[in-house]
Amino acid sequence: MAALAPLRFFDCNTFIGTPTHRLPGGAVSAEGLARALDRAGIARALVWHIAQLDGHPLRGNELLDREIAPFRERLVPCWSLLPAQTGELGDLDEWFARATAAGVKAMRAWPRQCLFLLRRIVVGDVLERMIDRRLPLIYSVSRGGGWDELYDLLADFPGLTVIISDVGCWGPDRFFRPPIERYTRTYLEISDYFVPGGIEAFVGRYGADRLLFGTGFPAQHHGGMMLMLAHAEITHEAKQAIAAGNCARLLAEVRT
């Protein structure tokens, strides 16, 4: 029997910058991230900047663009959004045009830290443009908002592409399975989903195309989820879809 080709990985959950609290990997520059990806054997990554969360989202966007510029072949920028009412984004069409010019392929939101709600009355103008562009929103349960907020968001914007991220390692299936079943544009990122048989059970019920590989680096190390996925009892084709194919497909769908 011919040996299977090694998995090619696309990390959809990693960041750069100096956090306000100590992390296992410490502060990571864009160059340091590229070296870490090489060491782990990860081809590409969708990247945000910790200043989007710990500082100001728009300043973090600027820092991200500047710092990953030499590595654009493998580091894909993920910006953070704000409500339009305060005028911080300026003209929305121009703001999204700048995002497109910067190569942005996904957005994040930090409603708790930035003191706003992910409701239609607040971010409807922004999220409707994201729906039109098929631009994914990465929703971090542990950092950005809770499950209640996620359910409200999906009820308001059922056509929004949402990647549920940072769900925790204690088997949160009862939280994420209902929206996975109801909303066809909702996906699960698996960086800390260390549940025995969890990947197999998900793939058996929903298929492999709704799972995206992520690591949470540098808050977590690369190897843990790479090992979980490599040894999951699913087909090699399913592993490759999760490792890189699904993320690459979603980002390729983004309309400029």
CATH code where residue 85 lies: 3.20.20.140
For residue 111, what are the CA distances in angstroms to 37, 149, 192, 225, 248? 30, 9, 22, 27, 27
Question: Which of 114, 127, 110 shows the shortest CA–CA distance to 162?
Answer: 127
Q: Is residue 2 part of a domain?
A: no
Q: Would you state the pLDDT for residue 5?
A: 73
Q: Is residue 22 part of a domain?
A: yes
Structural domains in the chain (count): 1
Q: Is residue 1 part of a domain?
A: no
Q: Would you state the pLDDT for residue 23?
A: 65
Q: Is residue 3 part of a domain?
A: no
E strands, the chain, are 10-16, 44-49, 75-80, 106-108, 137-140, 162-165, 186-189, 211-212
Single-letter amino acid, residue 64: L
Q: Would you state the pLDDT for residue 1?
A: 40
Q: Is residue 175 part of a domain?
A: yes
Q: Is residue 108 part of a domain?
A: yes
Q: Is residue 4 part of a domain?
A: no
Q: Read off the tokens for 13.
A: 């959950």
What is the extent of the structural domain holding 176? 10-252
Report long-range pairs for 229-238 (Cβ below 8 Å, ≥24 apart). Answer: 229/7, 229/190, 229/199, 230/7, 232/199, 232/200, 232/203, 233/200, 234/199, 234/200, 234/203, 234/208, 236/4, 236/5, 237/208, 238/203, 238/208
Query: pLDDT below 70 — which residues of the chain?
Result: 1-4, 22-26
SS3 sequence of 222-254: CHHHHHHHHCCCCCHHHHHHHHHHHHHHHHHCC
